[in-house]
Amino acid sequence: MRSTLIKVGVPVVVGALALSACGSRSGGGSSSGSGGGGSSKVATIGVTAPFSGDLSAVGLGIENSVKLAVQQANAKKTIPGWTLKAEAVDDQGKPEVGTNAATKLAGDSTVVGVVGNLNSSVSTSTQPVFAKANIVQVSPANTGVALTNVNGKRPYDTYFRTCTTDAIQGPFAAKYLISQGIKKVATINDQKTYGAGLTAAFEKEFKKEGGTITASQTITDAQTNYSSVISQIKPGAPQALYYGGEYPQAGPLSKQLAQGGLSIPVMGGDGIYDPKYIALGGRANDLATSVGAPTDSTAAGKSFLAQYKAAGFSNEAGGYGAYAFDAANAIIEALKTSLKDAKTAQDARAATVKAMANVSFTGVTGKVAFDSFGDTTNKVLTVYKVTGGAWVAAKTDTF
């Protein structure tokens, strides 16, 4: 469909169709939920993540968690005179679709902030769109280092995140394997921003700690047979495989690794920390790191999950629900300042970006605050191990 439209040379039509292809769903606000009563004005918090496709289970948890934060803010009349609204636009986990989703949200004059994206590679495409429109963007899940730090410089003042980065997650995994006596590791990554960056950070720390990388290989999203890459790493006799990428590829890779005669544990980052990884072939003793402490291990996390369940959402909050809830509440904290004297939501965009730098509160995931690059100051991570057919926390620590 896309190539056909390009051939007939109608870019305006292409753009219009592409925008209309971004699924959009509203929720979380109504006039009756207004904090000001009477002539309440509307400000929208957008949310963009994959709501369809392989990663939709994670994306829907993000969407619902943002809606929960908005609903609670309206119920509490957090911002007098304003009703908050949530607007969700599907990015399908694809950069080009993400750009269209960001363009759609930026074109809505009521949008003052956006929670998203899930994938670092998608945020690479959406950052300039939101920056041009002066819209604050808070990702609950991006871990790619270059999103906030390029040779010591912050690329976009509009971008923030509530999860820690691969500069922390990769080394955290490397130190864990070394502590378990694993000194020889092969790596594979999916060549995407997230997977390649995470693997590079892992390899650097693993070698620094005295470990040996026996092989470094890559795969693609479209690949389903990994026999050739497994044959490349097998001669090095690694004690474990570190994978930089996401669970749709990692699960089958783990299964084929064992079938290929390498019954070694696979370890990855938060991209494989999902029940579907196990369903797709992930094996006992495989490992994953993820940001923060397990949501159900803290009092704040248990309270959030209870509120989420009570709200009646049909999908689980997932690994990033708590981070999305905190991201939405970070925007709402900034709106307390930026909307106070604003006549329209669009007028408050620049002031919202400025106010985000000073946001500081205790959220579900811990202290929510940002450093000069827009990164969270929270550096807590957890190692999970596949045990009894489920991910079980093995170690939580601050890096």
pLDDT tens-place string over residues 39-91: 489 999 999 999 999 889 899 999 999 999 999 999 999 999 999 999 999 99
Average model confidence (pLDDT) across the chain = 90
DSSP labels, 191-213: SSHHHHHHHHHHHHHHHHTT-EE
Q: Which two tokens stand for residue 5?
A: 């439209």
Domain 167-291: what homologous superfamily?
A: Response regulator (3.40.50.2300)
For residue 123, give Cα distances in angstroms to 98, 145, 184, 226.
8, 12, 33, 28
Q: Is the pLDDT of residue 20 over 60?
A: no
Q: Report the C-alpha gap between 348 and 332 in whole angstroms.
A: 12
User: What's the token pair of residue 39?
Assistant: 């002539």
Q: What pLDDT, on a 0 to 100 scale, did the predictor assign at position 375?
A: 97
Asked if the model's pLDDT at residue 38 lies above 70, the reply is no
Separation in Å, CA 355 to CA 136, 151, 199, 338, 348? 10, 25, 34, 7, 10
User: Are 46 and 66 contacting, i.e. CB atoms less than 8 angstroms apart?
Assistant: no
Instruction: Report which of 332, 364, 361, 359 is spatially closest to residue 348, judged by C-alpha positions.
Output: 332
Backbone phi and psi for residue 307, each to the nearest 5 degrees, phi listed first:
-65, -40
Q: Which stretch of 25-29, 202-206, 218-222, 348-352 has the lowest confidence by average pLDDT?
A: 25-29
| Other C-beta atoms lying within 10 Å of the C-beta of residue 20 | 11
Q: What is the pLDDT of residue 87?
A: 98
Judge whether 330 and 138 are in contact, CB under 8 Å.
yes
Cβ-count burial 275-296 (b if 16+ within 10 Å, e if not): bbbbebbbbeebbbbbbbbbbe
Query: What are the sequence ranges of the domains in the chain?
Result: 41-164+295-378, 167-291
**Segment 302-333, tens digit of pLDDT:** 999 999 999 999 999 988 999 999 999 999 99
Tokens found for residue 116: 């998203």
With beta carbons less than 8 A apart as the criterion, state whether 219 and 226 touch.
yes
Query: Which position has the higher pLDDT, 217 or 197?
Result: 217
Measured from the Cβ of residue 299, the count of other Cβ atoms closer than 10 Å reads 8
Q: How many CB atoms lie within 10 A of CB 389?
A: 11
For tokens 């006039």, name the residue: 31
pLDDT at 24: 64
Q: What is the mean pLDDT of residues 252-256?
A: 98
Question: Binning pLDDT at 50, 70 and 90, where does residue 291 land?
Answer: confident
**Nearest Cα to Cα of residue 199 among 238, 145, 263:** 145
3-state secondary structure of 291: strand
Give the pLDDT score at 124: 96
The superfamily CATH assigns to domain 41-164+295-378 is Response regulator (3.40.50.2300)
Dump pLDDT digits (tens) for 123-138: 999 999 999 999 999 9
Same fold for the pair 41-164+295-378 and 167-291: yes
Helices (H), 120-260: 120-132, 166-179, 193-208, 227-233, 247-259
Whole-angstrom Cα distance, residue 279 to residue 295? Answer: 22
Which of 184, 169, 157, 51 is CA-nearest to residue 372?
Answer: 157
Stated pTM of the model: 0.80
Are 262 and 289 in contact, with CB atoms under 8 Å apart? no
Q: Record the tokens describing residue 56, joined without a space.
A: 């939709």
Closest alpha carbon to 354 in 117, 113, 40, 125: 113
11 beta partners: none
The per-residue pLDDT for range 217-246, each reduced to its tens digit, is: 999 988 999 999 999 999 999 999 999 999
Ranges of beta strands (E only) in the chain are 24-27, 41-49, 82-90, 111-115, 136-139, 159-161, 184-189, 212-218, 240-244, 266-268, 287-291, 361-362, 367-368, 380-387, 390-398
Q: What is the DSSP letter of 93?
A: T
Q: Which amino acid is at 331?
A: I
Share of the chain above pLDDT 70, in %: 90
Find the mean pLDDT for residues 197-212: 96
